[in-house]
Amino acid sequence: MADENKTAPAAAAPAASGGKNPLLTILMVVNIAAMGTIAFFQWKFMDMEAKRPDLTQLLKEQKDPASDEATAEQKTVEVVKKENLLPLDSFTVNLAQGEGPRRYVRLDAVLKMSEDAKAPEFEARKPQIRDTIISILNTKRADDLLKKEGKSFLKEEIKASINSFLVDGRVEDIYYISFQIN
């Protein structure tokens, strides 16, 4: 009889724990509800974006006949300005050694040239321009370039250096497209 009482509770224990874990069920329901909420808000956002008017449509609505001449002049000015922007190829340059590991900079830039600048001279001097920029970047430390003043000082230094050997035209400004220090 004592042996029968010992085996009965052992047999009942697996049956009681064999049921589903209520915590797991609750977590699954919460997860499904969260996924449904995210899907709903994403659908609402996409619906809102689909109803948003196109930029060209907005410009056509705002356009009036009296301003046709002004917009034509404005477009010609923009075209002239675009001709004066000269993109440089991407740079990856080692920086001067400071404390810590070796660092390098990745830089994409565009030069804004003066009105009297000529594209053939720029193309002929492109290797010289790249060499000048690489030489300047090799002397800089990461700490110097991480500050806003350091980036603007770098622009001025590059402008002065390039303008020293250009014959026709000059660099008026430098625009950083991307600037990454690793």
Averaged pLDDT, 115-119? 82
Two tokens, residue 26: 């609750």
Percent of the chain with pLDDT over 70: 75
Distance CA 83, CA 37 (A): 50
For residue 79, pLDDT over 80 is answered with no
Give the confidence band of 80 by pLDDT, cuts at 50, 70, 90: very low
Q: Indicate the range of 25-39, 47-61, 158-172 predicted with least confidence.
A: 47-61
For residue 113, pLDDT over 60 is answered with yes
Q: Indicate the range of 33-42, 55-64, 92-101 predicted with least confidence.
A: 55-64
CB distance 168 to 114 below 8 Å: no
Residue 140, φ and ψ in degrees, nearest 5: -90, 150
- CA 119 to each of CA 88, 156, 170: distance values in angstroms, whole numbers, following the listed order: 13, 22, 12
Residue 168, φ and ψ in degrees, nearest 5: -105, 120
Give the contacts of 132 (CB within 8 A, at least 6 positions apart). 158, 161, 162
Give the confidence band of 81 by pLDDT, cuts at 50, 70, 90: low
Give the confidence band of 51 by pLDDT, cuts at 50, 70, 90: confident
Give the confidence band of 78 by pLDDT, cuts at 50, 70, 90: very low
Q: Which CATH number fits domain 81-181: 1.10.3470.10, 3.30.930.10, 3.30.479.30, 3.40.50.620?
A: 3.30.479.30
pLDDT at 84: 81
